[in-house]
Amino acid sequence: MELTLLGTGCPKVDHKRFGPSNLISTKKTKVLIDCGSGVTQRLDQIQISTADIDALFLTHLHSDHVIDFYQLIISSWHSYRVKPWIIYGPKGTKKFVSKIMDAWKDERTQRIKYENRSSTAAFKTIIKEFKSTGNVNIKDLRIKYFEVDHKPVEFSYGFNFLNKKKKLTISGDTRPCENLMKYAQDADVLLHEVFIDGEFKETNKMRTKKTLHNVRDYHTPSTLLGKIAKLTNCKKLVLTHLVPTKFNEKKLKKTIKSDFGKNPIIGKDLLKIII
């Protein structure tokens, strides 16, 4: 199984760290996790066609994770996708997809009529909303989804991907959370979000200490992540969803290593990890 980090950033724009998105590939399967800003450009960079993605999984419906949803759909049509999109996501995904598809309906109808191509299957969506926990099989990939804690976001999920006795855990967006630690036990790779303590220096009228506290509060601070990783007994820890996107790498590694005992891998866009 291979994990490719397509976007390791957050809502704040950074041309080196695109919005959150990951690709999981096996011999037979390609699954996309989230569709943050720039996802289709990153897929193009690694020569993966959006026509070939088997399923899209959404961790939650925060805009940084789904902002390029329609771009994904329309670009897959332009890449000659001939199958519907299978989408797994939290409660609310059906409503979200329906509203986005509706916003572009007139434009799409005109385009389809004018271009008169042989397939419009790329515009069809099959949506399955998560319960609190469950399993999904896609060809040779087994996926377990479970709830994480990103409140006030009501429905936010992490995932385990299992293939050939290897386990990859993806945290999604979460504050320190027991459920995540439970499901991430003994993972070969734990891909975890992080809020980097001590790096967010700018405050102004829009970004006060209070608003900063609130952002930190529903993410996982770097000062706790090493302890969490240690408790999961994961073999490798990979950091993504780096808030802020610019920081002192040496310092971050040192902070996490002091509790985890091993150096974490600091995620970068297009980094590929073989599991």
Q: How far is the CB of 100 from Zn ion (least distance, A)?
A: 18
Region binding Zn ion by CB under 5 A among candidate stretches 38-46, 63-71, 179-187, 261-269: 63-71
> Of residues 64-93, which lie at the interface with Zn ion (CB under 5 A)?
64
Radius of gyration of the chain (CA): 19
Q: How far is the CB of 244 from Zn ion (least distance, A)?
A: 13
Whole-number Å distance between alpha carbons of 254 and 264: 9
DSSP letter (8 states) at residue 164: T
Nearest Cα to Cα of residue 5 among 34, 13, 144, 230: 34
Q: What beta strand segments (E) does 90-185 contain? A: 125-129, 133-138, 141-147, 157-163, 166-170
Whole-number Å distance between alpha carbons of 86 and 64: 20
Is the Cβ of residue 63 or residue 135 nearer to Zn ion in the bound state?
63
Region binding Zn ion by CB under 5 A among candidate stretches 58-66, 94-102, 124-132, 224-232: 58-66
- C-alpha distances (whole Å) from 152 to each of 65, 68, 175, 220 are 16, 23, 11, 15
> Of residues 6-35, which lie at the interface with Zn ion (CB under 5 A)?
none
Nearest Cα to Cα of residue 69 among 90, 50, 47: 50
Q: How far is the CB of 115 from Zn ion (least distance, A)?
A: 35
Position among 62, 81, 108, 192 found at the interface with Zn ion (CB under 5 A): 62
Is the Cβ of residue 81 or residue 241 nearer to Zn ion in the bound state?
241
Q: How far is the CB of 26 from Zn ion (least distance, A)?
A: 26
Is the Cβ of residue 62 or residue 253 nearer to Zn ion in the bound state?
62
Q: ∠ CA(169), CA(73), CA(90), 5° rounding?
A: 40
Is the Cβ of residue 7 or residue 264 nearer to Zn ion in the bound state?
7
Contacting residues for 155 by C-beta, under 8 A, at least 6 apart: 60, 61, 90, 91, 92, 130, 147
Position among 34, 68, 147, 173 found at the interface with Zn ion (CB under 5 A): 173
Q: How far is the CB of 251 from Zn ion (least distance, A)?
A: 23
Region binding Zn ion by CB under 5 A among candidate stretches 69-77, 88-96, 121-129, 168-176: 168-176
* Contacts to Zn ion by CB under 5 A: 62, 64, 173
